[in-house]
Amino acid sequence: MSAKVSIRDLRKSYGGVEAVRGVSFEIQDGEIFGMLGPNGAGKTSTLECVIGLREPDDGAIEVCGIDARKNPTEVKQRIGAALQTTSLQDKITGREALELFGSFYRQRVPSADLLKRFSLEEKADAPFDTLSGGQKQRLALALAFVNNPELVFLDEPTTGLDPQSRRELHGEIARMKGDGHTVLLTTHYIEEAEQLCDRIAIVDHGRIIATGAPKDLIAASKLTQLVSFETDRPVAAAALQKIPGASEPTVDGVHGRFRTRDISRALPELIKLLEAQPVQLVGLVVGKITLEDVFIELTGSKLRE
């Protein structure tokens, strides 16, 4: 697979503050790549440097095989972008906005198609300031697709949207992948990144601290899973220590729990132990390691809304 985006050692400072500190990554063709990090981590600065909204201090940016720092206009012909908040003139209608922005590109998708695709037909002639947040964001996505881009950049596209609008947008983004588009998505919603992205870069303090598919990141985590169970009779706590890899075992009457890094080995051992007592298992809960757990493990802090 060829790299659609290749970033090497990207740096950007504002005054004395280093917002982006040597970021490097690649995005393959047809991939949805997520940048996950808290506010102020440097995600948006990185994305804005790539799409030409900001001039980086240093680093190389190649988009669709074009040097974006030398030929930003040509890059803009091939990409589409939706920012965190898209502001248009208050009184412009969706149809007019699509016609206006469509006129800036060599290749363009008919406005009617975009209005239909993004469910904006009913609001096509409504002024921008009368649209809801979700409708505005759908219009922003429609604008990002006005030139049928090879590559789409979405900067926190669901921030501030209600759950319904967020679900709708997730559907649109999943459809982009289905249509073969390459997408770079920034977000601070872990579940969004986990649900939508093929690969994720975890960004903190201007650096990428981990990159990979969500399941690989979780698998690579050193975190332990919590196993909780309930039995028909009390179990001796000392018995739990016989389970290989179990740690922090506790028993409170019929309720017991322990931690393990190897759930596939620990669970058969637990069943075997209870049968030997003999004690009957009434309930069992295995705590899943989430991407958030991984994030906290890597960054030492929770994601901030």
Partner 1 sequence: MNQPLREIVAVTLRMYLRNRMALAYSYVFPVMFLLAFVVLYKDEQPLLIQHMGELFTVTILGGACFGLPTSMVSERERGVWRRYRLSPVSPARVIAGTLIARYLMILVAGALQLAACMIIGGWTPEHPFQLWIAFSLVTFALLGLGLVIATMADTVPAVQALGQCIFLPMLILGGVAVKLSAFADTPWVLHLSAFFPGRYAVEVMQQCAKGTGLAPAWFSALAVILTGLGAGVAGAKLFRWDAHQRFAANRNRVWLLAALGAWALIGVGAEVRREIAPPASARPKLRPTIVPGKTADTTPAPVAPAPATNLVPAPTPAIPVTTTSVPTQNPAPVTFEVKPNPVVTAPAPAPEPAVVQTESLSQPASSQPAAVTPPPASAPVVAPLAVAAVPAPAAPTPWRAYNKIDFARLPFASVPPDNGNETPIAPADEAPDLSQQADLNAVAANLKTWAPGKVADPVQRVRNLMYVASATDQAQAFLERHLPYLIMDTLRAQFQDEELEQILCWIANHPAEGDHSAVFRLDELGLLFSVDDWDVPEIRLRNQWYSIKFVWWLLGW
Q: Is 105 in the site for partner 1 (CB under 8 A)?
A: yes
Going by the DSSP 8-state scheme, the letter that residue 223 receives in this structure is: P
Query: Whole-number minimum distance, CB 161 to partner 1, in Å?
Result: 18
Q: Is 56 in the site for partner 1 (CB under 8 A)?
A: no
Q: How many other CB atoms sit within 10 Å of the CB of residue 240?
A: 22
**Residues that contact partner 1, how many (by CB under 8 A):** 26
Structure token pair of residue 247: 């740690």
What is the layout of strands, in order, in the sheet containing 255-260? 247-252, 255-260, 225-231, 281-286
Query: Whole-number minimum distance, CB 76 to partner 1, in Å?
Result: 4
Q: Is 70 in the site for partner 1 (CB under 8 A)?
A: no
- Stretch of 16-24, 30-38, 72-80, 235-243 lying at the interface with partner 1 (CB under 8 A): 72-80
Query: Whole-number minimum distance, CB 147 to partner 1, in Å?
Result: 8
The residue from 38, 52, 206, 214 that contacts partner 1 (CB under 8 A) is: 52
What radius of gyration do the chain's Cα atoms show? 24
Q: Is 42 in the site for partner 1 (CB under 8 A)?
A: no
Q: Is 89 in the site for partner 1 (CB under 8 A)?
A: yes
From residue 185, alpha-carbon distances to 78, 151, 254 in Å are: 17, 11, 47
List own/partner pairs for 167-170 with CB under 8 A and 24 or more apart: 168/119, 168/134, 168/138, 169/134, 169/137, 169/138, 169/141, 170/195, 170/196
Q: Is 76 in the site for partner 1 (CB under 8 A)?
A: yes
Q: Is 92 in the site for partner 1 (CB under 8 A)?
A: yes
Query: Whole-number minimum distance, CB 17 to partner 1, in Å?
Result: 14
The span from the CA of 248 to the CA of 57, in Å, is: 50
The residue from 27, 41, 83, 196 that contacts partner 1 (CB under 8 A) is: 83
Query: Torsion over CA of 116, 120, 123 and 125, rounded to 10 degrees?
Result: -60
Query: Whole-number minimum distance, CB 23 to partner 1, in Å?
Result: 20
- Which residues are near partner 1 by CB under 8 A? 51-53, 73-74, 76-77, 81, 83, 85-92, 96, 99-101, 103-105, 127, 143
